[in-house]
Amino acid sequence: MTPVEFQRARRPEQKEERRVHLLEVTRALLSENSGTPVFGLNELARHAGMTKSNVYRYFESREAVLLELLREEGDLWYEALGAELSALSHPIALEEIAEAVARTATARPLLGHLTSIMPSIIEHNVSIESVREFKTSSLQLLQDAARFLHERAPYLSISACEEFIHRTIISITGLWPLSHPSPVTAVVLEAPELAAFRYSFHDELARVLLLLLRGLSQESTNQAG
């Protein structure tokens, strides 16, 4: 990608433009590197046409940029999932829910990648305030998604819907790296006898979520009875 050059932002709208630009550059860098955050703040600053000290005016670290990008990805995924679920007949079947979640998550590889490295990388070089803000917004998104799911599938209790969304994130965190191994591991797994370790993110996620939904559905029925 071709670096651009920016003058120092002075007005509030200019500062917001710089933040958005840094996020867009980060997206491009992650895409060019197959989703691996191999770049440092110096490289980000260079591609953004800024100095490293200027980047610090908008984000406290590279990880803070990734955290904000993850928040955006979560919002976009929720919008896409909501659109898919809204298009389905009411009430939605368990299989349809699992498939819609798996399909929309698979369509956003950056969401999968950033979610998978959130606990091990992203949350290790950011302030308490940044993490608290991110967790608070994530909790609100989880609750909004759970309420929406409950409206579309009322046979699932609101608590069951909240648990489903929460465990969906856990499943993505674990399944994404397993289904996207390193180049060396991918070569090793080409051996027929190691086929059991080759995972399809979409298929595995859909299967795990369907099993989870069946259990939560039964639990909701028992509680209602």
> Does residue 65 lie in a domain region?
no
> Does residue 17 lie in a domain region?
yes
The answer to whether the Cα torsion of 89, 90, 96, 102 is positive or negative is positive
Residue 24: the pLDDT is 95
Question: For position 32, which CATH number holds?
Answer: 1.10.10.60
Helix (H) or strand (E) holding 81: helix 62-86
Average pLDDT across the chain, whole number:
91
Phi, psi of 118 (to 5 degrees): -55, -55
Q: Give the end of a domain, one of 11, 31, 59.
A: 59
Mean pLDDT score, 62-71: 95
Phi, psi of 69 (to 5 degrees): -65, -40
Residue 13: the pLDDT is 79
Asked whether residue 205 carries a pLDDT value surpassing 90, the answer given is yes
Question: For position 151, which CATH number holds?
Answer: 1.10.357.10
How many Å apart are CA 48 and CA 28, to the nearest integer?
Answer: 11
Q: For the chain, what percent of residues have pLDDT higher than 70?
A: 92
Range in 37-41, 45-49, 92-96 with the lowest mean pLDDT = 37-41
How sure is the predictor about 224, in pLDDT bands with cuts at 50, 70 and 90? confident
> Does residue 79 lie in a domain region?
yes
The answer to whether the Cα torsion of 88, 85, 24, 173 is positive or negative is negative
Residue 12: the pLDDT is 66
Residue 90: the pLDDT is 87
Q: Give the end of a domain, one of 36, 59, 82.
A: 59
Question: At a CB cut-off of 8 Å and minimum separation 6, what does 22 contact?
Answer: 44, 48, 50, 55, 58, 59, 65
> Does residue 155 lie in a domain region?
yes
Helix-helix angle 109-117:158-179, to 10 degrees: 90
Number of domains in the chain: 2
Helix, strand or coil, per DSSP, at residue 8: coil
Residue 10: the pLDDT is 59
Which structure tokens are listed for 24? 């867009």
| Number of C-beta neighbours around residue 193 at 10 A | 6
Asked whether residue 32 carries a pLDDT value surpassing 70, the answer given is yes
Q: Which domain holds residue 199?
A: 70-224
How many Å apart are CA 132 and CA 138, to the nearest integer?
Answer: 10
Residue 38: the pLDDT is 67
| Number of C-beta neighbours around residue 118 at 10 A | 19
